[in-house]
Amino acid sequence: MSAELKTISIGMLGCGVVGSQVARLLQSDEQELSERSGALLVLKKIGARSNAAREGINPSMITTDLNSIVNDPEINIVIEVMGGIEPARTLILEAIKNKKSVITANKALLATHGHELFNAADAAKVDLYYEAAVAGAIPIIRSMRESLAGDQITRVMGIVNGTTNYILTKMHEEGRAFNDVLKEAQSLGYAEADPTADIEGHDAAAKAALLASLAFHSTVTIDEVYCEGITGISIDDVNAAKAMGSVIKLLAIAELTVKDEISVRVHPVMLPNSHPLASVRNAFNAVYVESEAAGQLMFYGRGAGGAPTASAILGDLVAVTRHRAYSTVGYGESDYADLDIAPVGDVKSQFFVRLHVADKSGVLAAIAQVFASENISIQTVRQAGLGSDAELVVVTHAATESSLKGCIKKLTDMDIVSKVESVIRVEGLVA
């Protein structure tokens, strides 16, 4: 390695599963990473909640004084892997103010305060990179930020939460109940002790906000993402999907509407088995991008875990280090389009509706009339006798969310309907 290489000092905020992995890889692969970066990379300081020893990490690097990292004049790049909104937001802003480039994996922070952080980075002429914030090691951010910068993205649809995909995979393949698989996911480390952020869709919603912002050059926050989780998905729903040649997935969807608005949402979807995302199993992630020139693109890989996330962070580190070494700055975020968010009621989808009705003549005609009253066309209907009740499974043609909501309200008010069991959106034609 050339003795003339510039030294780039790195500080890190956080030393949990991801942070520890980043630190170990930085130290073990220092020479190779330095050669790729065009500068000598030196991990100088790690901020953590305690000074407790971490395997493979020099204890002298660890400090509980996080401000000492963002204010250290010798540190050039700060890696933030501590998570949460505060104090991460304040620390990153302080680092940027001190002309330090920042690499973060903090999806929740960016989905809430990204506009403020990116503006601060632009004003300070430093980098703010975040590949690890969405889908782990999958290079989706850089691909959309750079490779597809000359194209017009029209839709992004992804499985971006490994916990929910693992649960839905096991329910589909093994016929097991939601709660049973959730306990297994927790025992395997795929789900937290409090799994709310995953199973209620909040984690995926933060990622959806980031993908929508990037794809459509507009500021989208997590509060603007319509969100439904998977806690209402039953084995009966899974079996109904199977019967229709489909599988249920929790999807993050961001797309342009005909009114040039952004529809961004997270919810369960029935996907036909022929769709590329339908085959994504267990804790893997995948993002499916549709654009005018490139067409359909699929990005697939491990979406979480220490090593995959560390890989994405180190990829950002090499890119940012090259900029520091040659006194340049990479691509900033652009919100020039400033598109509005489409009201969720105006968004069109196909719907799967499963309901229990009285088992007598004339019921099917009455149910069909309710759908027609809300201008909803029925694509298929299947009926199964259940003694005094019958189960109807209806799949509609595309209809607005508001029309479907009105239809469900009318159905629940009918004496012949004992219960509307489930309503799930459908992607693509289902026979």
Q: What is the pLDDT along the chain (431 residues), one digit of tens a residue?
A: 445 778 999 999 999 989 999 999 998 888 888 888 989 999 999 999 988 888 888 888 999 999 999 999 999 999 999 999 999 999 999 999 999 999 999 999 999 999 999 999 999 999 999 999 999 889 999 999 999 999 999 999 999 999 999 999 999 999 999 999 999 999 988 888 899 999 999 999 999 999 999 999 999 999 999 999 999 999 999 999 999 999 999 999 999 999 999 999 999 999 999 999 999 999 999 999 999 999 999 999 988 788 889 999 999 999 999 998 888 877 667 778 889 999 999 999 999 999 999 988 899 999 999 999 999 999 999 887 656 678 999 999 999 999 999 999 999 999 999 999 999 999 976 54
Instruction: Tell me if 357 sits within 8 A of 278, measured CB to CB.
Output: no
Alpha-carbon distances, residue 183 vs 73, 251, 305, 348 (angstroms): 47, 22, 19, 35
For residue range 70-125, list pLDDT tens digits in order. 999 999 999 999 999 999 999 999 999 999 999 999 999 999 999 999 999 999 99
Token pair belonging to 426: 């459908």
Q: Longest Cα pair distance anywhere in the chain, in angstroms? A: 88
Say which amino acid occupies 212.
A
Which residues belong to the active site? 207
* Helices (H) then strands (E): counts for the chain: 14, 17
Q: What's the CA dihedral at 361, 362, 364, 365 to 10 degrees?
A: 160
Residues 6+ apart with CB under 8 A from 332: 118, 121, 122, 128
| Of residues 337, 138, 336, 354, the one with CA closest to residue 252 | 138
Token pair belonging to 49: 């909640």
Three-state SS annotation for 244-301: CCEEEEEEEEEEECCCCCEEEEEEEEEEECCCHHHHCCCCEEEEEEEECCCEEEEEEE
pTM: 0.93
Cα atoms in the Cβ-side hemisphere of radius 13 Å centred on 18: 25
Instruction: Tell me if 128 sits within 8 A of 104, measured CB to CB.
Output: yes
